Copies of this chain bind each other. A is one copy, B any other.
Amino acid sequence: MVKQVIIVRSDISMGKGKIAAQSSHASIGAYKKVKGKDPEMVDKWEREGGKKVVLTAPLEEIMEFLKWATEKKIASYLVKDAGHTQVEPGTITALGLGPDTEARLEPTEKLKLL
């Protein structure tokens, strides 16, 4: 099965709406990367219902997953907030990964669900 993983920072304070907006940025950002290089993966994901899993981790762990994704050629999109509200400009808020296969995204399963 194909899924998308969104990892939201656990070590900064954001309200529900802020989290939802940052997750949407991460989701669209990573989606567009996959759409561009592997449209069949996107098609498969959509046929299966477009599964999205939202997890949470501190910045350090998010950056480790970014490095890991780059090494594994898993599409990633790091969200830096414009900082109009709640956080400083340029603050990293979330990471989007995939859609990609659940097997390839398995290492993210150790993270907590948001």
Residues of B within 8 A of A26 (CB): 24
| Identical copies of this chain, number | 2
Q: How many residues of A contact B (CB 8 A)?
A: 27
Nearest Cβ on chain B to A71's Cβ, whole angstroms = 25
Selected A-B contacts with CB under 8 Å, 29 pairs: A4-B24, A6-B20, A6-B21, A6-B24, A15-B114, A16-B16, A16-B19, A17-B54, A17-B55, A17-B56, A18-B54, A19-B19, A19-B20, A20-B20, A20-B114, A21-B23, A21-B52, A21-B54, A23-B23, A24-B24, A24-B26, A24-B27, A24-B28, A24-B52, A24-B54, A27-B27, A27-B28, A28-B31, A49-B82
Binding site for B on A (CB under 8 A): 4, 6, 8, 15-21, 23-28, 31, 49-50, 52-56, 82, 113-114
